[in-house]
Amino acid sequence: MEVLQEVKPRVYKFGDKKADGNSTMKNLLGGKGANLAEMSSIGIPVPPGFTITTEVCTEYNSLGKETAVNLIKREVEESIENIENLMGTKFGDKVNPLLVSVRSGARVSMPGMMDTVLNLGMNDEVVLGLAKKTNNDQFAWDSYRRFIQMYGGVVLGMKPASKEDIDPFEEIMENLKEKRGIELDTEFTIQDLKDLVFDFKDAVKKRTGHDFPTNPWDQLWGAIIAVFNSWNGDRAVYYRNMHGYPADWGTAVNVQAMVYGNMGDNSGTGVCFTRDAGTGENVFNGEYLINAQGEDVVAGVRTPQQITKLGSERWAELAKVEEEDRIENYPSLEELMPSIFNKLNTYQNKLEKHYRDMQDMEFTMQDGKLWILQTRNGKRTGAAMVKIAMDLLKEGMIDEKEALLLVEPNKLDELLHPIFDSKALKKANVIAQGLPASPGAATGKIVFFADEANKYKSSILVRIETSPEDLEGMNIAKGILTARGGMTSHAAVVARGMGKCCISGAGALKINYKTRTLKVDGNEYHEGDWISLNGSTGNIIEGKVATMEPELSGEFAELMKLSDKYAVMKVRTNADSPKDAKIARSFGAQGIGLTRTEHMFFELDRIKAMREMILAETVKGRKQALKDLLPMQREDFEGIFEAMEGFAVTIRLLDPPLHEFVPHQLATQKDLAEEMHISLQAVKNKVAELEEFNPMLGHRGCRLGNTYPEITEMQTHAIIEAALNLKARGIVCKPEIMVPLIGTVKEFEFQEKIIRTTAAAIFEERNDTVEYLVGTMIEIPRAALMADKIAEKADFFSFGTNDLTQMTFGYSRDDAGKFLPTYLEKGILKVDPFEVLDQEGVGQLIVIGTERGRSTKPNLKVGICGEHGGEPSSVEFCYGVGMDYVSCSPYRVPIARLVSAQATIKSIK
Ligand code: PEP
Ligand code: MG
């Protein structure tokens, strides 16, 4: 019997309050497509259209263009017919034409990263039909010139010739404006627009050697393929790598009936947010332009007006515009078109409630009718993210667990960066004012080109406006300043997404790319000059302004408290000094998971004693040098114990290879020889003797303590004495002594014996005791496999995933930089395993190590102290393994606390 195989659709339709898809299908339809379907189903007016799935993008990438097109041809044709029926128009028709937009849409929003084409379906005949039908020649020809411009850029590769050049179509327009003595695009006459269309097509022919395509179907397939290609374009690849999004996600393609914001003064377009994306304040806000289309608002070509009256008043205050002038020339949408505003306000409320999160929406008004073109969970700064989550909770829109899950852990990082010192700000020389597009404090040297952002250690990228090509430079720069553009310009949206300080629309700035200068109020600033940006006020300040440490307060503190209510797994910190321990404690660390004792040896007087110890030829000589180090170490430990009063502190015995401590330059070798009264040759000999082919796999870790037991003895002395001293002062401390890099049980046993004997002798001598643990790091694969045997002896395990990753992959930590970037580029590895724990491989050793360890000691305390201990996906994994704690650098403690809570919530969901 023949079995009919069900064919999975590759194209999903939406429109007229119906849809094939819904908002849960983001992986298949992309974020935009899934939300368009959802909006259509819940009765929001969206222009009808269809979505080609992300899977087709992947098919296109593996099977090629011809096969991919064949796979979807019939469905695309049917879907166009569906739009035609709903709109009562026809694709390519000379009398009653349907025009469409073609947009990309990945499963996560990547603002400006991929491409959009509007008004597709235009040609020399269609434009006449459209003009006649709408009785609006201006609109029809304006739409046509925009189409050629976008299609030329996106599909036909008409880009600026060099970075100092502007877009070739913009150049033609600028020349015409100059000739005609006009400033704005809206001032073009019908004849100007016809001339532009002619000149644009001519420019395309000259640059590409081909005529501009006239057949609407050819145009449509060209645009669909261009969107697929844009997934692998430089911008998208960079954005994907930055966020760790895999290449095989692909992008969907959304094709939608055009609605027109450029049909005259009763039409327009805008972008709005249900709450403030910079601060999180619960105020509806956004920007619009009358008689404009699609990208005009985001591209920042004309500075747009505010949607709400409140927003408009705030804007006028910043821009120093008088109230009368504001009402006359810059009215809000609320004042200009109250009924449209009311509808928009109703939709924004409905959508925020529906999605239970802040929404970022795009809309178009066509001849007095409002259409919503897109909604998505809005990008926001770290501060806004925290405030919005806590506000939605207080408003009862979401519950505690949802509030915690709404916060993206890595973005908390932004709240932990320095802010401007308020005293320094009072003295600051403010040279200009722009829009506070993305809050924060940034100080750096001026650069004018994105690809030069790394010219200085700290740079501020100063642009007339930014474009998606500038992404990489924006990421490197400390802050972004633009002369044009509003709060929803590309620069503003992207900067907020990155949590980067940004000021936009600073109209007083005169930027000259050719001379690399910035003029304002008669002063001139050059590339390399220092400026500072206060992204919270929009103040542009001359020179460098001092910064200070942030603190956990307000909603951030509330969020952390809520996290601790749900978190089961504890968060400790990696800290090597009392200062770091104090910072970590103020961020909520519950103990120290790793103190790398060697870091204490690098300071001036200590390195000398350390070198003497290394150069000593006899045990006696070594002991003498160690004796000098003892009081210094003891003092350090006392400081750390005190800062962490009441919490456990894990101190690791000396770990790095000794060659790291000896001088490698002739001059310092000579100094050392002189100081130690030995010959230069003796120093040189010792340095040569310590040289290793693979120091990371050489004489380090417990191998040092086992060959030079006096080092372990001295360190135990310092730890136990420090603890006793604190006890005498009434301060509770819980030392945990950790043996590094063991691979065999015996290695641990030898060290443990030295530690316990030394401690016992001190207890006897001082006639006092403290409780302490002796545990080990698990960072060699063999140790993970032998964990049951090791746990019979050790009090605790701490996974050193830096070394465990090194040894499981066989990638040297010191040399991986030579090939890892290529591996990531080629997709051989999806992410850097030294940053994100390799759960499939290294993670399995952690699972085995923990299970085997607990098979012989059920209550074995287990933690992690490698760099992964502060990386969200790795922390979640550690919770799944059943670890008692993760330990990370002080600034990642709040992130790990949140992830720990999120992991608990996800596991009980
Ligand atoms: C580790 O290997 O993960 C670890 C924490 O130790 P270190 O980075 O000091 O080798
Ligand atoms: Mg290690």
Q: In this structure, are residues 647 and 592 in contact, taking their beta carbons and an 8 Å threshold? A: yes
Is 535's C-beta closer than 6 angstroms to any atom of ligand 1?
no
Higher pLDDT, 457 or 858: 858
Nearest CA to ligand 1 atom 10: 803
| CB of 866 shorter than 6 A to ligand 1 | yes
Catalytic residue (choose from 57, 272, 490, 878):
490
The whole-angstrom distance between residue 111's C-alpha and the CA centroid of its chain comes to 13
Distance CA 649, CA 667 (A): 39
Of 380-384, 417-421, 559-563, the poorest mean pLDDT is in: 417-421
Q: Which of 794, 805, 816 minimizes the C-alpha distance to 844?
A: 805
673 and 777 in a common domain = no
Q: Tell me what pLDDT residue 337 has.
A: 96
- Ligand 1 atom 8: residue of nearest CA: 802
- Give the number of the ligand closest to the Cα of residue 799: 1
Q: How far is CA 170 from the centre of its chain?
A: 32
Q: Is residue 751 part of a domain?
A: yes
Query: Among 691, 712, 745, which residue terminates a domain?
Result: 691
State whether 446 and 467 are in the same domain: yes
865 lines ligand 1 (CB under 6 A): yes
CA 794 vs. chain centroid, Å, equals 40
Closest CA to 272 of 210, 163, 347: 347
Percent of the chain with pLDDT over 70: 97
Same domain, yes or no: 746 and 680:
no
Is residue 787 situated within a structural domain?
yes
- Greater confidence (181 vs 468) lies with 181
Q: Are 157 and 222 in contact (CB under 8 A)?
A: no
Q: Is 38 in the pocket of ligand 1 (CB under 6 A)?
A: no
pLDDT at 604: 67
> Which of 646, 671, 691 corresponds to the end of one domain?
691
Please give the Cα distance from 641 to 577 (Å, whole number).
10
User: Are residues 568 and 879 in contact, defined by beta-carbon separation less than 8 angstroms?
Assistant: yes
Among the residue ranges 234-243, 373-382, 872-881, the one predicted with the least confidence is: 234-243
Q: Are 142 and 263 in contact (CB under 8 A)?
A: no
Identify the top-confidence range among 115-124, 310-319, 607-616, 646-655.
646-655
Mean pLDDT of 558-573: 97
Which position has the token pair 């003029």?
519
Residue 686 CA to ligand 2 center (angstroms) comes to: 25
- 398 part of a folded domain: no
Q: How far is the CA of 188 from the centre of ligand 2 (A)?
A: 67
What per-residue confidence (pLDDT) applies to 494? Answer: 78
Q: What is the mean pLDDT of residues 555-564?
A: 96
Ligand 1 lined by 196 (C-beta under 6 Å): no
Could you read off the pLDDT of 49-80 as tens digits, one per residue? 999 999 999 999 999 999 999 999 999 999 99
Going by pLDDT thresholds of 50, 70 and 90, the confidence category of residue 159 is confident
> Are 685 and 705 part of one and the same domain?
no
Rounded CA separation 30/105 (Å): 5
Alpha-carbon distance of 859 to 845, in angstroms, equals 19
Per the model's pLDDT, the better-predicted residue between 768 and 416 turns out to be 768
Average pLDDT score over residue span 697-702: 94
pLDDT at 228 over 60: yes
* Whether residue 2 has pLDDT greater than 60: no
CB 802 near ligand 1, within 6 Å: yes
pLDDT at 299 over 70: no
Per-residue model confidence (pLDDT) at position 112: 63
Q: Within a domain: residue 410?
A: no
Closest to 356 (Cα-Cα) out of 391, 383, 308: 391
Residues 727 and 876 occupy one common structural domain? yes
865 counts as catalytic:
yes
Do 781 and 869 fall within a single domain?
yes
Average pLDDT along the chain: 92
Query: Which residue has its alpha carbon closest to ligand 1 atom 4?
Result: 800
What sign for the dihedral angle of Cα 230, 233, 236, 237?
positive
| Torsion angle of C-alpha atoms 127, 132, 134, 139, degrees rounded to 10 | 40
Question: What mean pLDDT comes out for the span 678-697?
Answer: 91
CA of 884 to the centre of ligand 2 (A): 19
Q: Are 579 and 592 in contact (CB under 8 A)?
A: no
With residues binned 3-state (H G I as helix, E B as strand, rest as coil), the percentages for the chain, rounded to 5, are 50, 15, 30
Indicate which ligand has the atom closest to the C-alpha of 804.
1
Residues spanned by the domain of 667 = 658-691
Our answer on whether the CB atom of 803 is closer than 6 Å to any ligand 1 atom is: yes
Classify residue 553 by its DSSP letter: -
Cβ-based burial of 449 (10 A; exposed 0-12, middle 13-18, buried ≥19): middle
DSSP codes joined into one string, 370-422: EEEEEEEEPP--HHHHHHHHHHHHHTTSS-HHHHHHHS-GGGGGGGGS-EE-H
Per-residue pLDDT at 794 exceeds 70: yes
User: Residue 552: pLDDT band by 50, 70, 90 thresholds?
Assistant: confident
pLDDT value, residue 831: 86
Alpha carbon distance 173, 185 (integer Å): 8
Residue 407: pLDDT above 80?
yes
Rounded to the nearest whole angstrom, what is the distance from the C-alpha of residue 655 to the centroid of ligand 2? 7
What the block records as the tokens of 48 is 């009808």
What one-character-per-residue DSSP string does 118-171 give?
A: EEET--HHHHHHHHHHHT-HHHHHHHHHHHHHHHHHHTS----SSTTS--HHHH
Q: What share of the chain in percent tops pLDDT 90?
A: 71
The pLDDT, as a whole number, for residue 547 is 80
Of 330, 362, 380, the domain-final residue: 380
Ligand 1 contact via 332 beta carbon (within 6 Å) = no
Do 609 and 633 share a domain, yes or no? Answer: yes
Contact between 245 and 108 under an 8 Å Cβ cutoff? The reply is yes
pLDDT in tens, 582-623: 989 999 999 999 999 987 887 767 888 889 899 988 899 899
CA dihedral 151→154→157→159, nearest 10 degrees, is 100
Total domains, the chain: 5
- Distance from the alpha carbon of residue 846 to the mean position of ligand 2, in angstroms: 14
Determine which one of 702, 733, 865, 888 is catalytic. Answer: 865
| Nearest ligand 1 atom, CA 740 | 6
454-503 pLDDT, tens per residue?
Answer: 999 999 999 988 876 787 899 899 999 998 877 767 778 778 767 789 99
Cα 721 to ligand 2 centre (Å):
26
801 within ligand 1 shell (Cβ under 6 A): yes
Same domain, yes or no: 248 and 287: no
Which stretches does DSSP call E strand in 236-333? Answer: 251-257, 268-273, 285-290, 305-306
Would you state the pLDDT for residue 111? 67
How far are the Cα atoms of 101, 256, 260 from residue 216, in angstroms, in the given order?
12, 14, 18
SS3 851: helix
Flag whether 4 is in a domain: no
Same domain for 577 and 527: no
Work out the pLDDT band at 1, boundaries 50, 70, 90: very low
Given ligand 1 and candidates 592, 655, 874, which is best to mutate, with the most ligand atoms within 8 Å of its CB? 655
Q: How far apart are alpha carbons 47 and 374 in whole angstroms?
A: 10
Q: Based on the domain organization, do 448 and 367 belong to the same domain?
A: no
Looking from the CA of residue 801, the nearest atom of ligand 1 is 3
Q: What is the DSSP letter of 464?
A: S
Q: Is residue 655 within 8 Å of 776, Cβ to Cβ? A: no
On whether residue 404 sits in a domain, the answer given is no
* CATH number for 749: 3.20.20.60
Closest by Cα among 704, 621, 632, 618 to 661:
704
- Going from the Cα of 644 to the center of ligand 1, the distance in angstroms, rounded, reads 21
Which residue from 702, 802, 837 has its CB within 8 A of the most atoms of ligand 1, so it is best to mutate?
802
pLDDT average, residue stretch 547-553: 76
CA dihedral 429, 433, 438, 441 (to 10 degrees): 0
Q: What is the pLDDT of residue 297?
A: 67
- Cβ–ligand 1 distance for 599 under 6 Å, the answer no
In 10 A of CB 603, how many CB atoms?
12
Ligand 1 atom 1 nearest Cα: 800
| 596 Cβ inside 6 Å of ligand 1 | yes
Q: Say whether 864 sits in a helix, a strand or coil.
A: strand
Residues 594 and 481 both lie in one domain: no
Domain assignment of residue 87, yes or no:
yes
At residue 212, the pLDDT reads 97
- Judge if the beta carbon of residue 779 lies within 6 A of ligand 1: yes
Long-range contacts of 529-532 (CB under 8 A, 24+ apart): 529/445, 529/446, 530/443, 530/444, 530/445, 530/446, 531/431, 531/443, 531/444, 531/445, 531/446, 531/460, 531/462, 531/481, 532/420, 532/428, 532/441, 532/442, 532/443, 532/444, 532/460
Average pLDDT over residues 755-769: 98
Sheet with strand 530-534: strands edge to edge: 430-433, 539-542, 530-534, 441-447, 459-463, 479-482, 501-504, 435-438
Mapping DSSP to helix (H, G, I), strand (E, B) and coil, where does residue 506 land?
coil
- Find out whether the beta carbon of 388 lies less than 6 Å from any atom of ligand 1: no
| Same domain? 721 vs 836 | yes
How far does the centroid of ligand 1 lie from the alpha carbon of residue 567, in Å? 25
Q: Is residue 3 predicted with pLDDT exceeding 50? A: no
Q: Does 184 score more than 60 pLDDT?
A: yes
Q: Choose one of 651, 653, 803, 842 to mutate for the ligand 1 pocket test, by most ligand atoms within 8 angstroms of C-beta.
A: 803
pLDDT score, position 115: 76
Query: How many CA atoms lie less than 13 Å away from 414 in the CB half-sphere?
Result: 29
In a domain, 409, yes or no: no
Asked whether the beta carbons of 887 and 820 are under 8 A apart, the reply is no
Element (H, E) at 117: strand 116-120
Residue 122, amino acid: M
Evaluate if residue 108 carries a pLDDT over 90.
Answer: no
Ligand 1: residue of 595, 651, 777, 838 to mutate (most ligand atoms within 8 A of CB) is 777
Residue nearest to atom 6 of ligand 1 (CA): 800
57 is catalytic: no
CATH of the domain at 432: 3.50.30.10
Q: Indicate which CATH number applies to the domain containing 40.
A: 3.30.1490.20
Inform me whether the pLDDT recorded for 743 exceeds 50: yes
Residue 577 beta carbon below 6 angstroms from any ligand 1 atom: no
Q: For tokens 């020349």, name the residue.
A: 175
Residue 165 has pLDDT above 80, yes or no: no
Question: What end-to-end distance do the CA atoms of the chain give, in Å?
Answer: 44
Q: Which atom of ligand 1 is nearest to the CA of 594?
A: 5
Q: What is the largest CA-CA distance in the chain?
A: 104
Model confidence at 5: pLDDT above 60: no
Instruction: Check pocket membership of 800 for ligand 1, CB cut-off 6 A.
Output: yes
**Ligand 2 centroid to residue 759 C-alpha, Å:** 25
β-bridge partners, 104:
253
Distance 887 CA to ligand 1 centre (A): 12
Whole-number Å distance, alpha carbon 877 to ligand 2 midpoint, is: 20
